[in-house]
Amino acid sequence: MTTVAIVYHSGYGHTEVQAKAVHKGAASVSGITASLVTVEDATANMDILKDVDAIIFGAPTYMGSASAPFKAFQDASSGAWFNRHWKDKIAAGFTNSHSMSGDKLNTLMQMTIFAMQHGMIWVGQAEMNQSPDGEPGQADAINRIGSFLGAMAQSENAAPDITPPSGDLKTAELLGIRVATLAQKLHS
Ligand SMILES: Cc1cc2nc3c(=O)[nH]c(=O)nc-3n(C[C@H](O)[C@H](O)[C@H](O)COP(=O)(O)O)c2cc1C
């Protein structure tokens, strides 16, 4: 059995919807056990992550970088870093924010450097923008924001059952599928 953990923070529920889409994708791969873990739980007990094969990091972008609880999780992982507990695990990341850019790329870069500190293997988003006319920004299109370092979602100022839109959730699901598939190949 190959295991994938999705470790995320969400202040108001929007990034949680995105995390659930990543989880749906990972769990849909045959032979994968996927789990959703909040950064609060992981920060309190880092051993939750010691034996999983892949970790997908998720956080909203607040003030141009990952939200503070996610950073607290990063800092709390220094023991796992010192003991190389996450070395050679697959890693990936996702983020959500209000603006189309909102400096989400900085959050994904923060996650990438974090994963590299841990000696992990970073997996990005493989899908190109799949709008019917190839134009960016269409709400039901896969990778409408054109992010390749990880999955991006954009949320309006509305409830999490309305936003982020379907295309961003499908994009997140595809990241989960990709990570789970590669983790299984690496650990078989
Ligand atoms: C403290 C704070 C800072 C924020 N900074 C940004 C930002 O830098 N860029 C952006 O596009 N949105 C920003 N936002 C908006 C959030 O990213 C957006 O509302 C997101 O959907 C929240 O996700 P959550 O519901 O998972 O917390 C900020 C929101 C808060 C509360």
Per the structure, the complete domain to which residue 144 belongs is given by 2-187
pLDDT for position 188: 76
Q: Is the CB of 87 under 6 A from ligand 1?
A: no
Tokens of 177: 């599928």
Residue 15 has a pLDDT of 99
C-alpha 157 – ligand 1 centre gap (Å) = 10
pTM beyond 0.90: yes
Query: Based on the structure, what is the number of domains in the chain?
Result: 1
Which residues does the chain have with pLDDT short of 70?
A: none
Ligand 1 close to Cβ of residue 10 (< 6 A):
yes
- In angstroms, the CA 162 to CA 16 distance is 13
Which CATH number covers residue 183? 3.40.50.360
Contact status, residue 120 vs residue 88, Cβ threshold 8 Å = yes
